[in-house]
Amino acid sequence: MRRALRAADVGTVLLKGGPARLPDDVPPRFKPGDLVVARNINPTGHTRLPRYARGRRGVVDRDHGVFVFADASAMGRGKKPQHLYSVRFGARELWGPQAAARDVVYIDLWDDHLDPG
């Protein structure tokens, strides 16, 4: 039988949300401070790696923990649990000399988006 959301439960359900955090039992490939390079991937499916960051070098700023890998989950390929990081990219690394020297972009990226830089 399909689940149904009853009007009386809407408040409770929405406050609870649908967390994507998973048990922290997968080893991280990177740690804060590590230099990384975003993979140059162009899948026809869903990816959370923006085009402008592909092939660019960044620094792992922090490790958020283990999360559902959205790229896999969107395609019905399960949760593929792995670490999610906040990765810092310099604006000039992304967009070249026209960008402001001190601007940076933080992008949340998973292990499968990154290689050692």
Interface residues toward other proteins, by CB under 8 A: 2-5, 10, 13-14, 18, 20, 42-47, 50-52, 68, 70-71, 73-76, 94-95
Q: How far apart are CA 34 and CA 60, in angstroms?
A: 5
How far from 83 is each of 1, 5, 9, 14, 114, CA to CA, in Å? 34, 32, 32, 26, 11
Residue number, 34 or 80, with CB nearest to other proteins = 80
How far from 16 is each of 10, 11, 22, 91, 106, CA to CA, in Å? 10, 9, 16, 36, 27
Residue number, 11 or 116, with CB nearest to other proteins = 11
Give me the amino acid identity at 88: R
The minimum distance between CB 31 and other proteins, in angstroms, equals 26
The minimum distance between CB 33 and other proteins, in angstroms, equals 25
Residue number, 22 or 34, with CB nearest to other proteins = 22
The minimum distance between CB 34 and other proteins, in angstroms, equals 23
Residue number, 34 or 88, with CB nearest to other proteins = 88
